[in-house]
Every structure is written in structure tokens, then in C-alpha cells.
Structure 1
Amino acid sequence: MNTVQISTHIENLKRALQQQALWESTPPSSQALSSDQPFAYDTLEPHQWLQWVFIVRIEALILAGQPLPTGFELSPYFEEVWKDDESKAKVLAAVSAIDKAFSSC
């Protein structure tokens, strides 16, 4: 798997979140982060999950030289939760690009 390509997509996602003022400087509580629900939908907003769970975990795997996950898609969830919010288009595009990058590996 091309970790340079994945890292580039992660940086693009960070930038999209920042441009939409969805990037947070304070993490959610440890209780909120410990949700066992998919995308922690019961304790986190979708953008929080991207920032504090997905991005953190992928970057940690890359830094540790560990294998990256395969066989997943993020887009269906985010397209559904943000279907009525056109302001999230750049974030959705970044998520879609990540899906494509992981599916081509």
C-alpha cells in the first residue's frame, strides 16, 4: 500500500475539515471516544470521528510502519449524514478520495 499517497489524502481531508471550520483544537472526552458504535455515532459528530478517530489511527499506523486496513468504505456513512448539507462537499470529496485510494491497494 502506498503510504505516501494515503498520507496525502489524509492531509487533504484535514485541510477540508479546517476550511469548513470543523477542525477542533480540543479532543472529545475519553468516554465519547470509547464508544463501541460504528463511527461513534452515539457520542461524536461525524467530523469529530474523522478527526479524532480515523485520522489519528491511520496516522499512527503509518508512523509505526504497520499495515493499513483494507476492505472498508467511509463514503456511504458520510454521504448519508451530510446529504442535506452542501457545505460538506469538500469533506465528502476528500473522504471519497480516501475510499478510492484504499480500494486500489
Structure 2
Amino acid sequence: MTFVVTEDCIRCKFTDCVDVCPVQCFYEGENMLVIHPGECIDCGICEPTCPVDAILPDSYPEAQQWLELNRKYSLEWPNLLTAKPAPADADEFQRVPDKYELHFSPRPATI
């Protein structure tokens, strides 16, 4: 089992999870994070630290659709090793529905 980042992270991109991850398995896109499923050790420490509940175990049915996205982009995006400030408008996007269709960016973060 692994954990996955879901649509709720898009345009919020809080990074509290990055600082608690013991194996540094988070990767950063332009407007969301993903978890590398092969690196995640299933400790679960990241899940309760996410202020928007965007992290789920892949055993949850609603997480399955995000597993491949996490796998794909964790191989393309840069590894994020420390937390950084959330986007200025993150609070405005916390409860926005259908964020994947409307706001997802496949581009990597610019470091």
C-alpha cells in the first residue's frame, strides 16, 4: 500500500506533509504535489498533516484514480525536500470542485 495525493491539493499545494515525510517521497508540480508510490513506506504520517485532506491511502476506492497520476508525475517533477509557503490564493481554492479538469497543470514546479 501507498498514499496518494488527490485533486484537493490542486491550487492549494500546502507542503506541511513534506516536512514530516521520513523518506522524502513528495514531488512538486506547478500547482500540486504527488507521492512516488515506489518510495512511500506507508507510514501514514503525512495524511493527518494535510490541511485540505488531499492525501489518502491507495486502499480507498476514491484514491485509485489518483495512483497513476502520482506515479507518472513523481517521475517527471522535482523532488521536494522541505516545506515552502503555500500559494497566496491557496485558501480560495480549498473547497473548489472539479479542480483537476479546471486547474491541473502537468508542468513541474520551477525551483
TM-score, normalising length from structure 2?
0.29
- Higher relative contact order at CA 8 Å, sep ≥6: structure 1 or structure 2? 2
Structure with bigger helix share is 1
Structure with bigger strand share is 2
TM-score, normalising length from structure 1?
0.30
